[in-house]
């Protein structure tokens, strides 16, 4: 006689069952033959000597049955029936095999079978659609590539490269006079100007020789020299302003005349200064030695 | 001051095996003896140097056992230490000592280098004009492994190939590009905006949403409607990360990894006046595509843009290849004078890395791949590039 109740008392309530999974609200049963997946007195395949399940293998559904007569022969305990692919026919098969079986098991078997067919249909539909292929990324490789990309970006010097390329194209004339600085003409103009200025300067030098010119005196007046430093400063500042403006004018003049004597720095009007000559007296050594 | 310090002095004459032999192993110092013996073992190499008559200052690790009495006091530190050949700092087992030695070694090396540099500079000045030219520094581009497929400009075979490949119709001005831009399923905001901006950058481009269609079904429809190129932007986790360019009648398909995507809004720019691309056809700059593979990719990029750029628009799209990374930029330029250009970045920017080039239109399973990036073969050499 099978002692289902004792078994259930032991494994379900008191002691350990290795298939039981406890959660906060419910207990699940991990046994592969369990029909509902929950850990119940009526769903436990160990605690029921008459039991049936539906299991699916590679798209094929099977009805598994266990009876008390075969309880002593574990290798022959589960009887397997292949169910038809047609849904209604399969239900009839279940009914036929589980005739006179408890209502609960029949009902749950049919429910399970329905669920299984539904998910098989979904699998078939999904495989026809496009699937997202997930490609695993290796963190090391990703990091390496991003590092190399940064270094390549620095080495590329993109702005310089683009500018260089554009200037090249300008030089080669791909823009065809859209822009107003065609380089050939400019260079030629520069060269011409250089030549002209050289010839001009040489001519002017020839001209200037021997000619008498009357030039303005320097702005320094003796009256402006004074002992008072403050007066000096005041007048100096005024003079400096004048001088700076004069210097600017001079600069402009000198800059425009290329080819004349090169002007280095600012040309300053001479400031008030006094030249002092020093004479060095060398004492005759004889005198020194005597005294 | 640890009395052990004296161990590092030259061993007194008459002690055959050196200081180690003097004290009985495992005795005397109690707790510190094990530590000591380790250190002595680790420093046997160093010991040799000591025997050669060089002395060095040892940093005190602090505390420790009272060792056996050592007669000589610790010597003063000497700045210049030469290491005998065959000795490597990494052989010292004690970390503190090893670090200290390494710093020493580094300092010595640094000084040697400075001295050498000064000497070289003096020689150079002394020679004046006759000095040999400065050596060119090595860069990765200099050291690049020569690729046998590098295109020689005068190569006739290459010219012939390019005259008869799938892009020849574009370069012969028989066809003008018409681009279809789409994404992978369910694109997110960034990808959508990138598509829109790309559509402005590339003239004659249309954006269509994917709606879950298979590419293999889209392609015949595109061909029927006279599209020349199909651009698919792949997205992962709300960020665009891949690009597929498929040249349509039956042209090659290139698959790129896209990274560093910056949309037009995210670029640093002053003001908002001239920051939108206009409808003018931009110029194209292709830099550094040197191998055969690079050439075909370059031609593919060029065929996205119409053949006659409108120079009035002053817009330029650049594909710059550096070490197998292709940088895309879209600028507006202005010539300030004949030696200076000003650039203003419009349009999005991103970086592409070629993953595979497949002959024929998109067919990932049965397509014939001309080139596939194989990481274990191609990533091993840091000086070898394929584009």
Q: Note the ipTM here.
A: 0.70
Please tell me the predicted confidence (pLDDT) of residue B165: 83
By DSSP bridging, strand B205-207 and strand B179-183 are parallel
In this complex, which of B139, B259, B329 lies closest to A149 when CB atoms are compared? B259
User: pLDDT tens digit string along A4-13?
Assistant: 999 999 998 8
Which has the higher per-residue pLDDT, A232 or A24? A24
In this complex, which of A141, A176, A186 lies closest to B338 when CB atoms are compared? A186
Which residues are paired to A82 by β-bridges?
A62
Q: B-chain residues within 8 Å CB-CB of A162?
A: 285, 316, 318, 320, 329, 331, 333, 341, 343
Q: B-chain residues within 8 Å CB-CB of A131?
A: none
CB contact under 8 A, B338 and A167: yes
Please tell me the predicted confidence (pLDDT) of residue B363: 80
Residue from B213, B255, B327 to probe the interface with A (highest A Cβ count within 10 Å): B327
Q: Residue B335 in contact with residue A170, Cβ under 8 Å?
A: yes
Query: Residue A146 pLDDT > 70, yes or no?
Result: yes
Residue A149 contacts B, CB cutoff 8 Å: yes
Q: How confident is the model at residue B353 (pLDDT cuts 50, 70, 90)?
A: very high
What gap in Å lies between CA B348 and CA B331, rounded to an integer?
Answer: 10
In this complex, which of B185, B257, B322 lies closest to A156 when CB atoms are compared? B322
Please tell me the predicted confidence (pLDDT) of residue A208: 58
What gap in Å lies between CA B28 and CA B32, rounded to an integer?
Answer: 9
- What is the average per-residue pLDDT within A169-185? 74
CB contact under 8 A, A141 and B335: no
Q: Residue A97 in contact with residue A80, Cβ under 8 Å?
A: no
Which residues are paired to B235 by β-bridges?
B240
Q: What are phi and psi of A283, to 5 degrees?
A: -70, 135
Please tell me the predicted confidence (pLDDT) of residue B276: 85
Please tell me the predicted confidence (pLDDT) of residue B231: 94
Which residues contact residue B361 at a Cβ distance below 8 angstroms, ignoring those fewer than 6 apart? B219, B230, B246, B247, B248, B250, B251, B253
Report the chain B residue with the minimal C-alpha distance to residue A158.
B320
- What is the average per-residue pLDDT within A172-185? 71
User: pLDDT tens digit string along B72-87?
Assistant: 444 444 555 566 677 7
- What is the average per-residue pLDDT within A53-58? 95
User: pLDDT tens digit string along A23-38?
Assistant: 999 999 999 999 999 9
- In chain B, the largest separation of any two C-alpha atoms, in whole Å, equals 100
Number of Cβ within 10 Å of residue A181's Cβ equals 12
Structure-block tokens of residue B35 = 């530590």
């Amino acid at each position: 006689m099978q002692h289902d109740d004792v078994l259930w008392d032991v494994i379900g309530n008191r002691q350990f069952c290795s298939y039981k999974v406890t959660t906060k609200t419910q207990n699940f049963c991990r046994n592969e033959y369990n029909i509902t997946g929950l850990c119940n007195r009526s769903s436990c395949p160990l605690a029921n000597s008459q039991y049936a399940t539906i299991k699916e293998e590679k798209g094929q559904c099977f009805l598994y049955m266990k009876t008390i007569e075969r309880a002593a022969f574990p290798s022959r305990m589960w009887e397997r029936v292949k169910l038809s692919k047609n849904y209604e026919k399969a239900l009839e098969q279940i009914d036929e095999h589980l005739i006179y079986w408890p209502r609960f098991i029949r009902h749950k078997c049919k429910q399970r079978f329905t669920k299984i067919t539904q998910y098989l249909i979904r699998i078939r539909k999904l495989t026809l659609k496009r699937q997202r292929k997930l490609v695993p990324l290796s963190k090391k490789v990703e990091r390496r590539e991003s590092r190399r990309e940064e270094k390549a970006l620095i080495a590329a010097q993109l702005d310089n490269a683009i500018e260089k390329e554009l200037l090249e194209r300008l030089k080669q004339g791909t823009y065809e006079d859209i822009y107003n600085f065609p380089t050939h003409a400019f260079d030629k103009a520069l060269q011409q100007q250089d030549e002209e200025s050289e010839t001009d300067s040489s001519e002017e030098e020839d001209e200037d020789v021997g000619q008498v010119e009357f030039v303005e005196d320097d702005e320094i007046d003796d009256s402006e020299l004074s002992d008072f430093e403050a007066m000096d400063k005041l007048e100096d500042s005024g003079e400096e302003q004048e001088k700076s403006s004069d210097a600017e004018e001079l600069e402009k003049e000198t800059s425009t005349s290329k080819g004349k004597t090169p002007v280095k720095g600012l040309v300053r009007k001479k400031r008030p200064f006094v030249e002092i000559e020093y004479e060095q007296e060398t004492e005759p050594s004889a005198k020194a030695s005597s005294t | 001051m640890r009395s052990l310090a004296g161990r590092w002095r030259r061993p007194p004459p008459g002690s055959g095996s050196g200081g180690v032999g003097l004290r009985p192993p495992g005795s005397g110092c109690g707790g510190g003896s094990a530590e000591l013996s380790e250190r002595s073992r680790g420093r046997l190499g160093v010991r040799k140097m000591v025997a050669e008559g060089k002395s060095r200052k040892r940093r005190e690790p602090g505390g420790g056992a009272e060792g056996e009495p050592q007669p000589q006091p610790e010597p003063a530190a000497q700045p210049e230490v030469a290491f005998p050949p065959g000795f490597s700092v990494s052989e010292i087992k004690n970390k503190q000592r090893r670090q200290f030695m390494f710093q020493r070694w580094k300092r010595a090396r640094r000084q040697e280098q400075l001295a050498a540099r000064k000497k070289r500079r003096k020689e150079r000045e002394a020679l004046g004009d006759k000095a040999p030219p400065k050596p060119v520094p090595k860069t990765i581009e200099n050291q690049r492994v020569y690729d046998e497929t590098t295109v020689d400009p005068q190569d006739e075979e290459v010219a012939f190939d390019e005259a008869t490949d799938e892009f020849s119709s574009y370069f012969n001005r028989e066809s003008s590009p018409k681009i279809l831009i789409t994404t992978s399923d369910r694109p997110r905001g960034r990808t959508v905006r990138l598509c829109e901006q790309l559509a402005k950058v590339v003239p004659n481009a249309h954006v269509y949403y994917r709606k879950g269609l298979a590419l293999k079904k889209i392609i015949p429809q595109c061909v029927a409607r006279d599209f020349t190129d199909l651009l698919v932007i792949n997205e992962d986790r709300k960020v665009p990360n891949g690009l597929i360019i498929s040249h349509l009648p039956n042209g090659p398909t290139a698959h790129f990894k896209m990274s560093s995507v910056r949309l037009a809004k995210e670029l640093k720019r002053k003001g908002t006046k001239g920051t939108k691309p206009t409808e003018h056809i931009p110029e194209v700059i292709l830099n550094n595509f040197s191998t055969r593979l690079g050439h075909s990719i370059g031609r593919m990029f060029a065929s996205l843009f119409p053949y006659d750029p409108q120079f009035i628009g002053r817009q330029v799209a650049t594909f710059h290849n550096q070490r197998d990374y292709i940088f895309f930029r879209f600028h507006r330029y202005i010539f300030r004078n004949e030696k200076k250009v000003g650039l203003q970045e419009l349009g999005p920017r991103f970086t592409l890395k070629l993953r595979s080039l497949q002959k024929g239109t998109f067919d990932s399973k049965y397509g014939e791949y001309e080139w596939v990036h194989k990481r274990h073969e191609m990533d091993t050499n840091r000086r070898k590039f394929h584009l």
